[in-house]
Structure 1
């Protein structure tokens, strides 16, 4: 009986961690006030600006699952591409772009 209780508790905890994963897909308000859409494209997620001066431009491609993603992100103002990561936490997406893993800039985007 004790063994069944332990197994049931373990199954519940494993199942609840799957529900804790937060999807990166959706529309996000960027730090500059534009709207970016993150959609699945193949086995990755594409980041495309929907509003602003660079509307329609794909600015990133990331892979991952749960709430942690990595790939490339492009600054549309100067058209430079950086190694990037994204971490979803509730209604926020922390986007980080780095040059040589040393010089990094982080922005927080809000889910729309």
Structure 2
């Protein structure tokens, strides 16, 4: 009986644990162009995929990190060029930044949906 209770309690904790530990970047975001992007865990990082707009279904980023600060690669869907990228989450805003040689950078702010 006690063993069953311990197993049940452990399973309940495991089921709710990941939801409590979700990264701030995970979710749906409105991009600067008005499209919707989904950011979801994939492998050991977070994949950025456009869900609406002209490039719907296209994966445009791969970021790693935790706690609101992320880095990796960002692809401009119009030119199909990939840049060093970063993202930082503050509340319902995600500042995305792509750079060439860490000197020429372009930023945009996305809003959580």
User: What TM-score does the superposition give when structure 1 sets the normalisation length?
Assistant: 0.80
Distance 2:44 2:101 in 1: 25
Partner of 2:9: none
Count of paired positions:
93
Distance 1:45 1:91 in 2: 17
Partner of 1:45: 46
Q: Which runs of 5+ in 2 are unaligned?
A: 1-19
Distance 2:57 2:86 in 1: 21
Deviation at 1:75, TM superposition (A): 0.3
Deviation at 1:22, TM superposition (A): 5.8
Tell me which stretches of 4 or more aligned residues in structure 1 moved more than 3 Å.
none
In the TM superposition, 1:64-83 aligns within 5 A as 64-83=65-84
In the TM superposition, 1:91-102 aligns within 5 A as 91-102=92-103
Q: Which runs of 5+ in 1 are unaligned?
A: 1-18
Cα RMSD (Å): 1.4
User: What TM-score does the superposition give when structure 2 sets the normalisation length?
Assistant: 0.80
Would you say the 8 A contact 1:59–1:73 is kept in 2?
A: yes
